[in-house]
Structures are given as C-alpha cells and as structure tokens.
A and B are shown apart, each in its own frame.
Chain A
Amino acid sequence: MSPTALYVAQRGTAAILLPLVLGHVALILYAVGDGLSAGEILARTRGSTFWGLYYGLFVVAAAVHAAIGVRSVLGDWTRLSRTALDRVALGFGLLLLLLGSRALVGIL
C-alpha cells in the first residue's frame, strides 16, 4: 500500500475507534463497579445484534489501526525493509482479526 493509503486507513480507523473507545471505557467503568463476572458480560452480549456490530466493527478497526501503527513504529525505530514492514504489519493485523473473530464468536 502507498503511504497515502496507509495514512487514510490509519486516520480513518482512528476516527472510527474514537467513539467506540469512549463507549468501551464508559462500559468498563460501569461494569467493574460491582465486580466482573462471565455471566454478567455474556448476559449483555449473547444474542445482541447491537453489541455484535459494535465489537465487530471495533475488532476490524483496531486490527487495521494497530497493524499500521506497529508498522510505522518499526519503520522509525528499526532498519527493516519496506517489504519486511508490510509483512509484519499484515501478519499482526491478521492475527488480531483471527483472535478478535474467535472472541466475538465466544461472547455472542
């Protein structure tokens, strides 16, 4: 991908993540108020289209955003070639997508 495409993807996912993170943090503050339990988490998420879409979008945006971010850090702080950077970023993004999908299947 060209630097401009990476830039658009990075800032675009950032803009998507912004409200999602706010909601996530608010939910954390609310949920841990009386202790965490699997039952409580799953009661909220199981069978819920809203939370399915919410965290589905979250996983995709976070995977793209984190992969490009890691690529940019490695580009600045290591001497990896452009091809190597692309491979690391792609691998990390796919790993996050995979783990994220598995988690989604678990809580939905």
Chain B
Amino acid sequence: MPTSNDATPTELDVRIWRGGEDGAYAHYRVPFRESQTVLDVVTFVQRHLDSTLSYRFACRVGMCGSCAMTVNGAPRWTCRTHVSKVAEDGVITIGPLRNLPVIKDLACDMTEFFEKWQRAKGRFSPTRSRREPFERISPETPKRKAVDAGIECINCGVCYSACEVVSLRRDYLGPAALNRAWTLVNDTRDAEHDARIAAVSGDAGCHNCHSHQSCVDHCPKQLSPTASIAGLKRASVGAAWRRLTGR
C-alpha cells in the first residue's frame, strides 16, 4: 500500500463480494478521501469502476436501515461508518450480511427477517378506534421507559447478522423481531399481549437466546436486544403463572 509521510494511504485496497452464495471477492482501488464512509466507497466502485455492482441504500443518514453490510468481519450500517475507523492498513473487505440468503453482490434477501418480525407479532394492534380520544401515556411510567429503550430500531438486520443463535437455528426469531415484540408487550394500548407472549415463547422464540450479546455489541443504535429478550423470558414465565392460577 503506498503511503505518504504521515502514513495515511492515498488509495484504499477494497475487496467486495461479487455474485451469489458461491461468489468471490473482487479487488478494487478506490481513492482515499477525508470523512469517507464505507457506503461512499461502495458507491464510488459502482459509479466509476463497475456499474453492475448491486447494493442497497436509501437515506444515507442512518435512518432507513437499508445499507447494512459486513465490513472487515463485522456487520455495520455503512452510511454511518467512516473508512478511517474500520480500514486496516488501507484494506477494507465488504460483504453481504451474514445469516441471510445473498441475492447478488451486497444485496441480501431480507424476506425471512421481516417474516419473523410478523411471526413475533411485531405489529401494533389497537384497543381504541380513531373515533375515541388518544390514550395518555406518561413518559415516567416504567413500561413507557421500557418501550423507549427499544423503540429506536431501524430494522437494519445488523443484530440478526451478528447473532450466533440465528446461525445455529434457522427458525430462531432473532434479536430484532424479539426486541420489537418487547416494545409492544410494554405498550399498554396494545390488544394482543397474550397472543404475542405465546408467539415469542415457542420453540423458535426467546428461550433460545444464550445472552452472547453480539446484537448489543453491533447494534448501530446502541440498543440492547438481549435485555429485551430477557424481559420476554420473564414475561413468558409470568404469563404461564397467570394461566396456571387462572388469573
């Protein structure tokens, strides 16, 4: 790698996954720029070196959750990841997210990720109609605080890709869907608490989590799906107890 006097590389040695599951890494040389993000690098390759490169992005500011990729061995949101933070001696390896089928290059099939979101009943089910007044929820209540702790998820799939249990058990609902379910379990306006607890405590549910906390380590929004899943474990015990005692 050519370096200047202050050891800052003028060019990056970029390796990008090309093809489907049985693809391979291709090498590209990309000029190094100040404050460059990994998404900038991928975009440079697509605009200037090989227009057939497939990848996803939309907002470029860390809101939409569509640009997650594996960067030098770790799942990351590429639009908010600076090259200077992750490049190792000017080398940067960019692949598709792990634990999801590769469609082509850096684009994964997110279908199972979102289907599991549905299977965990990650959808709000209202108790009031639009004709009734808004329910007032104090921000100070413990339940509302528990919702706040998990609500900022952007569905990027980073935690799902980092999770070792998803790799072991293909049917496991995964950290994102379970975290979402936990925010709804704490939503006092929701009508489907019991059904949701049943949905997340089955064979593919929360009891599979081994608290490795890879999801916590990699979540770009600094959420703790492990804590949410632990909450679901306790909630499932509570629900079973209520069923048993008929209360």
Q: Do chains A and B touch in the complex (CB under 8 A)?
A: yes
Contacting pair B203 A4 (CB below 8 A): no
Taking a contact as CB atoms under 8 Å apart, the answer to whether A82 and B203 are in contact is: yes
- Nearest CB of chain B from residue A75's CB, rounded to whole Å: 8
- Minimum distance in angstroms from A3 CB to a CB of chain B: 4
- B126 nearest CB across to chain A (Å): 27
| A2 CB, min distance to chain B CBs, angstroms | 7
Say yes or no: is B49 at the interface (Cβ < 8 Å to chain A): no
Residues B168 and A3 in contact, CB atoms below 8 Å apart: no
Q: A2-B201, A82-B203 are in contact. Are A7 and B168 (CB under 8 A)?
A: no
Binds A, one of B13-21, B77-85, B148-156, B232-240: B232-240
Cross-chain contact B237 with A3 (CB below 8 angstroms): no
Indicate whether A7 sits within 8 Å of B203 (C-beta atoms), given known contacts A76-B168, A76-B169: no
CB contact under 8 A between A8 and B240, given known A3-B202, A3-B203: yes
Give the contacting residue for B240; candidates A5, A75, A76, A77; CB below 8 A.
A5
Whether the Cβ atoms of B169 and A4 lie closer than 8 Å is no
Closest chain B residue to A82, Cβ basis: B203
A6 to B201, CA, bound (A): 11
Tell me, rounded to whole Å, the shortest Cβ–Cβ distance linking B200 to chain A. 10
**Secondary structure of the B side of the interface?**
helix
Q: Quote the shortest CB–CB distance from A14 to chain B (angstroms).
A: 13
A contact residues vs B (CB 8 Å cutoff): 2-8, 75-77, 82
Which residues on the A side are within 8 Å of B174 (C-beta)? none
Given contacts A3-B202, A4-B236, A76-B168, 20 further A-B contacts (CB under 8 A): A2-B201, A2-B240, A3-B201, A3-B205, A3-B207, A3-B208, A4-B207, A4-B239, A4-B240, A6-B207, A7-B207, A7-B233, A7-B236, A7-B237, A8-B237, A8-B240, A75-B169, A76-B165, A77-B168, A82-B203
Write out the residue numbers on chain B whose beta carbons fall within 8 Å of the beta carbon of A4.
201, 207, 236-237, 239-240
Q: Which residue of A lies closest to B167 (CB)?
A: A76
A74 to chain B, nearest CB (A): 12
Nearest-CB residue, chain B, relative to A6 = B207
Interface string of B197-237 (1 = CB under 8 A from A): 00001110101100000000000000000000000010011
Instruction: State the CA gap A8–B208 with chains docked (Å).
Output: 13
| Chain A min CB distance to B35 (Å) | 43
State A77–B168 Cα separation when bound (angstroms).
7
Q: Chain B's nearest CB lies how many Å from the CB of A79?
A: 10
Q: A2 to B168, alpha carbons, bound, how many Å?
A: 20
- Residues of the B chain whose Cβ atoms lie less than 8 Å from the Cβ of A6: 207
| Chain B residues with CB under 8 A of A2 | 201-202, 240
* Chain A residues positioned under 8 Å from B239 (CB to CB): 4
User: How far is B236's CA from A76's CA once the two chains are assembled, in angstroms?
Assistant: 21
Q: How far is the CA of A3 from the CA of B233 in the complex (A)?
A: 10
Q: Which residues of A contact B208 (CB under 8 A)?
A: 3, 76
Chain A residues with Cβ below 8 Å from B203 are 3, 82
Among residues 18 to 43 in chain B, which have CB atoms less than 8 Å away from a CB atom of chain A? none
Report, nearest first, the 8 A-B pairs whose CB atoms are least far apart. Answer: A3-B207, A4-B236, A7-B207, A76-B168, A4-B240, A4-B201, A8-B237, A3-B201
